[in-house]
Amino acid sequence: MSKHRNDNPPLLFNNIHLSETDTHKHLGSLFHHCLSWHTHIIHLHQKVMTKINRLRSFVNLVPRHALLTIYKTNILPAFDYGSIISDNCSDCDNRMLDKAQLSAAKIILRCLKTTSSNDVIADLNLTSLHLRREIPLLCYVSKLIFDMASCPFPASSFRSFKEFVPYALRHNQNVQIPLLKKFLSYNFFLRKASSLWNSLPLEIRSSASHSIFMNVLNSHYHISTKSTQHFLGLNPHMTSIRCILRFAHSPLNITKNNYRVCICGEMETELHLFFHCNVHCAA
């Protein structure tokens, strides 16, 4: 598709002139004439941040497990909808969505903004958006290989080398990656899905059925459905204090550039002030 715009003849529908537009919304996804997902990601980010700001308004009134349930039922599905087709967006757009999920997680935990993102996601037992896009993509490829879904692509797509190569190869289980000339098409669905499938271990790709493949895949990505054990108590203020103690990241001087020594001679950390210092514990 050329980047130069040509003057197209006017189009009429029921004697109504159809205006030309750069974007088109279809089934909740915004398609741009330049084959870019930036407009769709901006729209998704604004939609998600509106819900996250509403979550912030009653964070002091609702227990943490209820906030996590609200996030998983109202905000997280917005990230997952259409993530398979919009997965080939730019890294900048992906980082924008990751920051949105991180801000929601910090609101739920009521921790400091400078807390490590990995600790926040792990504490809530959430899966990163990168993995939440990869797993449905591999699930769809598995359904195509096991003939559980209709393939909208050519018949030669997702064929292993052993199906059309008469001799044994080292990578007979690998799927043929389509050869695309344009650099823009390197991140398209066919090429990315094939590369992602080939990167899996051989014991996962050689699964006997789709259900076995998904079980082994979740084990490979360490996807767990267990709930976190840090939701004891219904007082939001006390759970926030326990969260700060677990992360060892609080507004004390130990987390700043100017380190300070306690009056007893030890370093002024959270554990020292609350549990080990005789002066502060006695007070």
**Residues 146, 121 share a domain:** no
Q: Domain range spanning residue 148?
A: 132-220
Residues 6 or more apart whose CB falls under 8 angstroms from that of 34 comprise 1, 3, 22
Give domain status of residue 4, yes or no. Answer: no
Q: Which of 127, 156, 185 is the last residue of a domain?
A: 127
Q: Which pLDDT does position 258 carry in this prediction?
A: 47
CA atoms within 13 A on the CB side of 279: 8
- Domain count of the fold of the chain: 3
Helix orientation angle between 91-109 and 38-57, rounded to the nearest 10 degrees = 10
**Residues 139, 88 share a domain:** no
Give domain status of residue 231, yes or no. Answer: no
**Residues 84, 21 share a domain:** yes
**Residues 120, 94 share a domain:** yes
Give domain status of residue 86, yes or no. Answer: yes
Q: Which pLDDT does position 163 carry in this prediction?
A: 59
Give domain status of residue 202, yes or no. Answer: yes
**Residues 158, 85 share a domain:** no
**Residues 149, 44 share a domain:** no
Q: Which pLDDT does position 154 carry in this prediction?
A: 62
pTM exceeds cut of 0.85: no
Q: Terminal CA-to-CA distance of the chain, rounded, Å? A: 73
Q: Which pLDDT does position 269 carry in this prediction?
A: 63
Residues 6 or more apart whose CB falls under 8 angstroms from that of 212 comprise none
The residue type found at 23 is T
DSSP string, 61-72: TS-HHHHHHHII
Nearest CA among 244, 218, 160, 240 for reference residue 194: 160
**Residues 27, 102 share a domain:** yes
Q: Which of 220, 249, 268 is the last residue of a domain?
A: 220
**Residues 194, 141 share a domain:** yes
Give domain status of residue 151, yes or no. Answer: yes
Torsion, Cα 158 159 161 167, to 10 degrees, reads 180
Q: Which of 127, 156, 173 is the last residue of a domain?
A: 127
Give domain status of residue 51, yes or no. Answer: yes
**Residues 115, 38 share a domain:** yes
**Residues 146, 104 share a domain:** no
Q: Which pLDDT does position 228 carry in this prediction?
A: 53
Give domain status of residue 89, yes or no. Answer: yes
Q: Mind listing the pLDDT tens digit of every residue in the chain (283 residues)?
A: 455 555 677 778 888 887 888 888 888 888 888 878 888 899 999 999 999 998 888 888 888 888 888 999 999 999 988 888 888 788 888 889 999 999 998 888 888 777 778 888 887 888 888 888 888 888 888 888 787 877 666 655 666 655 555 656 556 667 766 666 665 566 677 778 777 888 888 888 888 888 888 888 888 877 655 555 454 455 666 667 667 766 766 666 444 444 456 667 776 565 666 677 776 554 4
